Amino acid sequence: ACPGSGRLAVAHDGKKRIHVFGPSGFCLRRFGERGDAGSDIKYPLDVTVTSDGHVVVTDGGDCSVKAFDLEGRGVLAVREGFCLPWGLDATPKSEVILTDSEAGALYRLTADFQRGELKKCQMIRSRLVSPRAVAVCRTSGAVVVIEHLKPRGPSKGSTRVKIFSAEMDLIGQMDSFGLNLVFPSRIYATAVAFDKDGRVIVTDVCSQAVICLGKPEEFPVFNPLISHGLSYPVGLAYVGNDSLVVLDSGDHSIKVYSA
């Protein structure tokens, strides 16, 4: 979600990979065709919108991070140094925090998107296990990451939620096994976000729900926010009026829930 305008950017596997929607749900723009040109997108894995209105996409097809203006014009592509860039989120200063799933690392990318200039790309955390979804708290600067753990034996694998302070100190974590000891059902987290009060919100594809895990200092609590009407939730965003937007891959829809 764009913090200023309330527009929504969605990455998907269609002919044009990025769709930008207005607050009413009308599609304003489609761009990012599949191809080999500099502004094409081969396989988008995540998308975020910066405070200054630029759409930033991780492209798993050529292991790059690409930025566009809201008209769909490519302004920057960063290809060096990534193994498999996956999840990303923008800070209030229009920096981008992104995960590299294959390298097991977290990066901070600073750029002048208006001029198309990369200023700095710094690894801020390493030794993570297949990190994918990531979110930044707009008030505290805390960062939450979802790791995808390899399966042991016949199990299907599990996820682990890690929370770091703004200084990148680990302040809390819980994996699917630990959550299962506290909560009534197994949780497999796919997307994560912070609400306006700094609480961690995740989508769970096992229970087809959206769950609040609480603030970092009380992590984890268990508070189901949405438990009906979802089939395979894979994306989360809060818009300006504190409505929660869920991307449901099960029926290929965007669902908006009021506060």
Return the CATH number at 169: 2.120.10.30
Residue 133, domain extent: 129-258
Q: What is the rounded CA–CA span in Å between residue 194 and residue 105?
A: 21
The answer as to whether 36 is a domain residue is no
pLDDT of 177 over the 80 cut: no
pLDDT band for position 38 (cuts 50, 70, 90) = confident
Q: Quick one: average pLDDT of 47-69?
A: 94
The answer as to whether 82 is a domain residue is no
- Is the peptide bond prior to 220 cis by the omega test (within 30 degrees of 0)? yes
Instruction: Give me the pLDDT at residue 171, please.
Output: 92
pLDDT of 47 over the 90 cut: yes
Structure tokens at 215: 């603030």
pTM of the model: 0.92
The answer as to whether 252 is a domain residue is yes
Q: What is the rounded CA–CA span in Å between residue 64 and residue 86?
A: 9
The answer as to whether 59 is a domain residue is no
Q: Could you give the number of structural domains in the chain? A: 1
- For residue 6, the one-letter residue type is G
pLDDT, tens only, 92-135: 999 999 999 999 999 999 999 999 999 999 999 999 999 999 99
The answer as to whether 113 is a domain residue is no
pLDDT band for position 242 (cuts 50, 70, 90) = confident
pLDDT band for position 187 (cuts 50, 70, 90) = confident
- Which residue matches tokens 């008209």? 71
The answer as to whether 78 is a domain residue is no
The answer as to whether 70 is a domain residue is no
Question: Do residues 18 and 9 touch, judged by C-beta distance below 8 A?
Answer: yes
Q: What is the rounded CA–CA span in Å between residue 248 and residue 227?
A: 13
- Which residue matches tokens 């506290």? 182
pLDDT, tens only, 156-167: 678 999 999 999
Instruction: Give just the sign of the alpha carbon dihedral 217, 223, 229, 232.
Output: positive
Question: Do residues 20 and 49 touch, judged by C-beta distance below 8 A?
Answer: no
The answer as to whether 87 is a domain residue is no
Q: What angle do CA 32, 41, 16 make, to 5 degrees?
A: 35
